[in-house]
Amino acid sequence: MSLVLDPAAQDLLFREAHTANAFTDEPVTDEQVQAIYDLVKFGPTAFNQSPLRITLVRSPEARERLVQHLAEGNRAKTAAAPLVAVLSADNEFHEELPRLFPHFPQAKDVFFAQRPAREDAAALNTALQAAYFLVGIRAAGLAAGPMTGFDAEGVRKEFLDDDHTPVMIVNIGAPAGDAFHPRSPRLDYTEVVTTV
Amino acid sequence: MSLVLDPAAQDLLFREAHTANAFTDEPVTDEQVQAIYDLVKFGPTAFNQSPLRITLVRSPEARERLVQHLAEGNRAKTAAAPLVAVLSADNEFHEELPRLFPHFPQAKDVFFAQRPAREDAAALNTALQAAYFLVGIRAAGLAAGPMTGFDAEGVRKEFLDDDHTPVMIVNIGAPAGDAFHPRSPRLDYTEVVTTV
């Protein structure tokens, strides 16, 4: 009751939402992905750096190339998912900063001239955007199956370039009847939060 | 129209929500923080590892100790915010895994026996949970002012221990009238998403 978000929205995005391991055949359209992106692009990042890049793996040939780099337990469900997205960090995001952060266009050179600083910032902020994207998938009434069990270097070489680091792969679709494991326990508030 | 999330919820969480730089005096209660946590704790993490830890900096003395470790531009607004939370990664999260991921209790030893593997996993998954937490702050009708401009080692020594890495500091409160900068541009869908 301390929340103002509608309870149905709470359920859709968090309480009833579950990582999905199986999906129906219903396709996920580009229009849906665009609607998701156009919602979650407003989620905050440091200096509005927005380093998330998304590769939609649609063709059967590309799907096959992706699956070989996944952990064994992630292969079958990814091969069968209606849509698979590779989420990656653009380590050259600073090139866009003068446009994305116009009230301090010097940020590009002051903070991000060095690649290691960019990689650190991109890793954190891409993860933030990946989380917003997962919330957005649920906002579209779809289920997400996020995975970090893959050979990142293999996926990078297969689909990206030296300037991009894959951080997560997400299966997307309408959940099948057997999509969900039982909800695992969460840490209690008192285990997570301390006050000083 | 591809989204099923109520438009008011879309606005509350993303479209109208803004990083806040100034707040009213209205307090943020522990009940509100617990309501936020009890919503966003359901957001997915790899192996349900849930590495996010939250330190609420409430006492004036603690607030003073925190502010000295912030970038100059973050100090005044943080000193004045109704509530400030230090979000950190628990690099020893694997100790909880047998309880948090009961259908594969071996994960603790198979994947996370080594500290570097834990630090990598905790960095990514804490960032995901930090993003969920920001969404949750907005779900409570509050505004968030997330910051990464601080001396992480200084904050760690001041408030945490060797097993925790601070990843973000968040000012929380009801936004003041002058809380918001104008919305910065976002990358277009076609700049972010490619299809293979």
Per-residue pLDDT of B182-192, as tens digits, reads: 899 999 999 99
pTM of the model: 0.98
High-pLDDT (> 70) share of chain A, %: 99
- Region at A168 (left for phi over 0; alpha for psi -120 to 50; beta for the rest): beta
- Give B124 to chain A, closest Cα distance, Å: 6
- B106 burial via Cβ count (<10 Å: 0-12, 13-18, 19+): exposed
* Residue numbers in B near A67 (CB within 8 A): none
- DSSP category for residue A94: G
- Nearest of B23, B68, B64, B4 to residue B178 by alpha carbon: B23
Query: Are A193 and B38 inside 8 Å of each other by CB?
Result: no
ipTM of this model?
Answer: 0.97
Q: By the 8 A CB rule, do A47 and A107 touch?
A: yes
Instruction: Provide, as residue numbers in chain B, all residues whose Cβ is less than 8 Å from the Cβ of A40.
Output: 14
Rounded mean pLDDT, A125-135:
98
Q: Distance between CA atoms of B167 and B87, rounded to whole angstroms?
A: 6
pLDDT bin (cut points 50, 70, 90) of residue B43 is very high
Q: For residue A125, what is the nearest residue in chain B, using CA coordinates?
A: B127
Q: What are the structural domains, with CATH classification, of chain B? A: 27-177 (3.40.109.10)
Mean pLDDT of all residues belonging to chain A: 97
Average pLDDT value over all residues in chain B: 97
Residue A180 burial by Cβ neighbours in a 10 Å radius (0-12, 13-18, 19+): middle
pLDDT band at A30 (very low <50, low <70, confident <90, very high): very high
Listed residue (B47, B150, B186, B42) closest to A124, CA to CA: B150
Closest CA to A5 of B84, B135, B132: B135
pLDDT for the residue numbered B1: 64
For the stretch A39-77, pLDDT in tens is 999 999 999 999 999 999 999 999 999 999 999 999 999
Contact A195 B30 (CB under 8 A): yes
Q: Give contacts of A 97-116 with B, CB under 8 A.
A: 99-103
- Is the separation of the CB atoms in B133 and B29 below 8 Å? no
Q: At what angle do helices A115-139 and B115-139 cross, to 10 degrees?
A: 50
Q: Do A53 and B102 touch (CB under 8 A)?
A: no
| Residue A1: predicted pLDDT | 64
